[in-house]
Structure 1
Amino acid sequence: MEAVVRIALCVWLIGVVYQDFRFQRIWVGWFLLIFGTSVWFVHPLTFSFFRVPGLGISYFTLADGLGILLYLVVQGGIVMGFLKLKTGTGSLKGKLGLGDLFFWISILPLFSFFNFVLFHLISMMVALVGHTLWNRIQAKVRIPLAGWQAACLLADFMLEASFGISLRIFTVETLVY
Structure 2
Amino acid sequence: MTYVLVSILFISFGVMLYQDIKYRHIHIGLPILVFVVSIYMNKDIIVLFDGLKSLAFIGINFISIAAYFSIKKSKFQNPFKQYIGIGDLVFLIAVIPLFSFRNYMLFFISGMILSLVLYAIFQNKDEQKTIPLAGYLSLYIIGLMIPNLFLSTNIFYDFII
TM-score by length of 1: 0.83
The answer to whether structure 1 residue 20 and structure 2 residue 8 are counterparts is no
Greater length-normalized contact order (CA 8 Å, ≥ 6 residues apart): 2
Asked if the contact 1:65/1:108 (under 8 Å) is kept, the reply is yes
8 Å contact from structure 1 (residues 119, 167) kept in 2:
no
**Which residue, 29, 48, 51 being the options, matches 1:62?**
48
How far off is 1:79 after superposition? 1.2
Instruction: Tell which structure's C-alpha radius of gyration is larger.
Output: 1
Match of 1:143 among 112, 128, 131: 131
* Structure 2 Cα separation of the partners of residues 45 and 37 of structure 1: 13
Whole-angstrom distance in 1 between the partners of 2:134 and 2:157? 21
Structure 2 counterpart of 1:76: 62
State the Cα RMSD in Å.
1.7
Q: How does 1:17-166 map to 2 (within 5 A)?
A: 17-42=17-42, 44-46=43-45, 60-89=46-75, 90-92=77-79, 93-162=81-150
Indicate conservation of the 8 Å contact 1:17/1:146, yes or no.
Answer: yes
2:147 and 2:94 mapped to 1: Cα distance? Answer: 21
Shift in Å, 1:4: 1.1
Matched-pair contact (CA < 8 Å) for 1:13–1:154: yes
CA contact (8 A) 1:111 1:168 kept: yes
- Separation in 1 of the partners of 2:109 and 2:153? 17
Give the Å deviation of 1:34.
Answer: 0.7
CA shift at 1:16, angstroms?
A: 0.6
Match for residue 4 of structure 2?
A: 4
| Contact kept in structure 2, 1:17 and 1:147, CA below 8 Å | yes
Give the 3 Å change call, closer, same or farther, for CA 95–158 of structure 1 in structure 2: same
TM-score by length of 2: 0.91
Residues 133 and 123 of structure 1, relative CA distance in 2, 3 Å threshold? same
- What secondary structure is seen at the aligned counterpart in 2 of 1:68? helix
> What is the identity percentage for the equivalent residue pairs of Structure 1 and Structure 2?
25
SS at match of 1:45: coil
- Give unpaired runs (5+ residues) of structure 2: none
